[in-house]
Amino acid sequence: MSRLREGGCLCGAVRFRTHGSLRGVVYCHCSQCRKQSGHLYAATDVDDARLEIAGADNLTWYTASDFARRGFCRTCGSALFWKRNGADVTSIMAGSFERPSGLKAEAHIFVADKGDYYEITDGLPQYARSSDSIPVADEPQK
């Protein structure tokens, strides 16, 4: 049986459902994620074929770089998605899932760019940029 997970934005204008397994949660410490969220991103990802979005007309996509775009609710501003250009997967912010999500933390990326006001002490793998198993943008994010 396929695992169904649901979630959405703060105001409920954008809702989503995922079917099947998801990647572990990756914490991104790049400056773009920190600026958009106020701290860091915690995201999983899903194949586009296993993602349903209701209220997509309430989504705004911001082209954050030449490599990716970020999707957020145009009503409440909730950050929901990150999508690398040309990819057939969409990253979804872990905090936007209803509980219990069943998600598990996997790694930290862009730790070379992390904020100077915190330490990473959870024992998860840390990558200066990323790893082969966690595809991200092709260039450092500023």
pTM attached to this predicted model: 0.90
Query: Order of strands, edge to edge, in the sheet holding 4-8?
Result: 4-8, 15-19, 51-54
Q: Are 60 and 48 in contact (CB under 8 A)?
A: no
H-state helical runs in 4-141: 31-37
For 67-121, how does the pLDDT look when each residue is reduced to its tens digit (9 = 90+)? 899 999 999 999 999 999 999 999 999 999 999 999 999 999 999 999 999 999 9
- Give the pLDDT score at 139: 45
For 108-126, how does the pLDDT look when each residue is reduced to its tens digit (9 = 90+)? 999 999 999 999 999 999 9
Q: Name the architecture of domain 4-24+40-106.
A: Beta Complex (2.170)
Please state, in angstroms and rounded to a whole number, the distance separating the CA atoms of residues 39 and 114.
9
Please state, in angstroms and rounded to a whole number, the distance separating the CA atoms of residues 39 and 28.
9
Q: Domain map of the chain by residue range?
A: 4-24+40-106
Among the listed residues 136, 42, 129, 25, the one whose alpha carbon sits nearest the alpha carbon of residue 89: 136
